[in-house]
Structure 1
């Protein structure tokens, strides 16, 4: 009998059909069927039980410098509320539409900005403008100097990836398969590219990568495209993954994890597909190998790192894709994409643990569990789905599902600082 993994229930979404009661019925029908399949497969659940964590010896540990609530977090919603980290401040956005400016040195609030909207993605932008997206399909720009709303533009559907600034434009991806260019100053739509999407996809879209006069985007049908920033015309279009299997779920091949560009080579991975290196000038594969992830990849000058959908962390040779090492002691712990901090990798998991591993062989360096409780002792949402963010040489900024922002410091055990 075919069985769904528990993680599938939180990330499946139906192809959007708007202003249709039939669409709502279909969405709940899909959830009901998924629930029944999971119940029917209860005997096989032990195959996907999260790995037990064991103690280890290390000369290093993670220590909380400060923590601060940023408001309503993602909780049980599959929404990536990434903060924007600038030189001295962290800009966060809550699920219920409150932007908070937090001092990175001590965690003090500087200001809050009410947007009166339900937020569907993390906050993008730079030192001049901050960008958020809403569940009801608006992109909002806030002036970083005046801290006032600059413009609010309606797009075709919900936005799940942070808007990205490129020169004088803002590039936006919507869940109905569109990529749009908005004028950075006015929010006016300049052009849009549209691609049909499969009936069933993972809930999420990857952020576009923009460089070398091209916008690179991984799509829900497993294809990777390069389009012109000037007019949205396709420069090249290649298949990273091809659907296989009989059921719609077996044929999911979304590219939802963020890609990374190194020189003229783009590295990208898909769900139930492949990880590959692509020459962006010619749109041709340099290498590819079977792989499955929905969290994306990260690079250093020699190695590609990724967490696969089984909770294994991989280090692959950037030049040919060969395995350097693999860490499987965090299996089925729903890991974030790794983050590079010095000689180490940091990943978060579904129980709020931050794990630190060696970049060179994958052995464990440190571990810390984030946690917050209410007045009755009930634990708030402490799972981590947003990758940790590096600040400085030895600091990590981590946001939990409950909306708590932590700054962690890596310390030696003989370090009293």
Structure 2
């Protein structure tokens, strides 16, 4: 995630949201392009399955929190749980008895989700602390830090609550576009600053007062109508030092300097899923699942890979030895960092991978739409 906010020391858009990703990217359809066949490979990377588990089906934009060696996650049915990253052992479990629309955000103690009834629910190590009904739908997982819970609503309003008692601390309303994207947006932190996606811009917000400190564009939306100009930033985002790198939906990939609050580089490229990366590489797939790796510092193209055309790739994870994508048929693909060549491929349960592979220590968690949990360890 994008850093940590210390503890307390420290005209809305029309809701004509597009369900673009829910309809086409997750599952495809009868008119979807045929996915490229799986290539013949000679495995060059050993990967073991450390443990497996299950949640209910994942029919919402899932985010998995990774505080202190844990995976905190949930299924569509509203069961929220914390699992040990080492062996998958249950640390706590809570059944909210309501379906979820967004989740999960956690700092290791507090966890927050949003139900289909637009109810923000905050738990303290598995025990419900409070519930708060929101006026606007939410599809982005709340962000929890510094004993506060931050929420980004579908119309790009930002809300801050006291994690202990649910008291509303502030709200930030911005003029917005007529359309917003029904896909996980960007919310996190850089130092003491809350960082949120506001359309095609990344904004730094004072976490105590809710005032905007800076804005930096990732993309300049163009088009003849509101649909073509839709360029919301989508999660996940990559942080490397002062740089925060993000994808603007179907528009561009770019990095901004969170210390100065200004853009560093941007490249016009389509795509619907977020990015993976580290201090050297930023990696993402375009709308046809052609993968590109850019140099983090300046955006120069390092390599491209087209062996996964139309396979409905997830956002990636970038490891020390490999770049990892999931696809729409439940396969997990490991690519070399230097050239993008396929090193290994593993099956899961045959359903689409629900979110980017999630790294905690030496464990890589894969979550499928059918609720399968597969913890992998590259050797």
TM-score by length of 1: 0.79
Q: Is the 8 A contact 2:111 2:144 kept in 1?
A: no
The answer as to 2:198 corresponding to 1:219 is yes
Q: What do residues 310-330 of structure 1 show as CA deviations (whole Å, max 9, x unaligned)?
A: 212211111211100011111
Question: Hey, what does 2:214 align to over in structure 1?
Answer: 236
Offset of 1:109 from its aligned partner?
4.8
Question: Hey, what does 1:73 align to over in structure 2?
Answer: 57
2:364 to 393, 396, 399: 396
Number of corresponding residues: 361
Q: Find the aligned partners of 2:46 and 2:280 in 1 and give their Cα distance.
A: 27
Q: What do residues 340-391 of structure 1 show as CA deviations (whole Å, max 9, x unaligned)?
A: 222111111111110001111111111011116xxxxxxxxx1113111123
Q: What do residues 290-336 of structure 1 show as CA deviations (whole Å, max 9, x unaligned)?
A: 12333222332222222222212211111211100011111122211
Structure 2: gaps of 5 or more residues: 1-12
Alignment of 1:152-163 (within 5 A): 152-163=131-142
* SS of alignment partner, residue 175 of structure 1: coil
Q: Find the aligned partners of 1:110 and 1:130 in 2 and give their Cα distance.
A: 13
Question: Hey, what does 2:15 align to over in structure 1?
Answer: 16
Offset of 1:396 from its aligned partner?
1.6
* SS of alignment partner, residue 190 of structure 1: strand
Question: Hey, what does 1:383 align to over in structure 2?
Answer: 352
Distance 1:120 1:246, change over 3 A: same
The answer as to 2:76 corresponding to 1:95 is yes
Question: Hey, what does 2:296 align to over in structure 1?
Answer: 318
* SS of alignment partner, residue 215 of structure 2: strand
Distance 1:213 1:120, change over 3 A: same
Greater relative CO (CA pairs within 8 A, separation 6+): 2
Q: Find the aligned partners of 1:15 and 1:123 in 2 and give their Cα distance.
A: 25
Offset of 1:183 from its aligned partner?
0.9
Distance 1:258 1:85, change over 3 A: closer
1:345 to 323, 326, 331: 323
Offset of 1:248 from its aligned partner?
3.6
Q: Is the 8 A contact 1:268 1:275 kept in 2?
A: yes
Offset of 1:103 from its aligned partner?
4.8
Question: Hey, what does 1:5 align to over in structure 2?
Answer: none
Q: Is the 8 A contact 1:271 1:291 kept in 2?
A: no
Q: Is the 8 A contact 1:223 1:237 kept in 2?
A: yes
| Structure holding more helix per residue | 1
Alignment of 1:146-225 (within 5 A): 147-220=126-199, 222-225=200-203
Which stretch of structure 1 is more off in the superposition, 334-343 or 93-102?
93-102
Question: Hey, what does 2:110 align to over in structure 1?
Answer: 129
Which stretch of structure 1 is more off in the superposition, 289-298 or 181-190?
289-298
Which stretch of structure 1 is more off in the superposition, 94-103 or 332-341?
94-103
Q: Is the 8 A contact 1:339 1:387 kept in 2?
A: yes
Offset of 1:111 from its aligned partner?
5.0
* SS of alignment partner, residue 84 of structure 1: coil
Q: Find the aligned partners of 2:88 and 2:215 in 1 and give their Cα distance.
A: 45
Question: Hey, what does 1:406 align to over in structure 2?
Answer: 374
Offset of 1:89 from its aligned partner?
4.7
Question: Hey, what does 2:101 align to over in structure 1?
Answer: 120
Q: Find the aligned partners of 2:269 and 2:108 in 1 and give their Cα distance.
A: 37
Q: Find the aligned partners of 1:51 and 1:81 in 2 and give their Cα distance.
A: 26
Q: What do residues 37-79 of structure 1 show as CA deviations (whole Å, max 9, x unaligned)?
A: x99xx8xx58x32221111112324343332221x222xx4x2
Question: Hey, what does 2:6 align to over in structure 1?
Answer: none
Bigger Cα Rg: 1
Structure 1: gaps of 5 or more residues: 1-13, 18-22, 373-381, 412-417
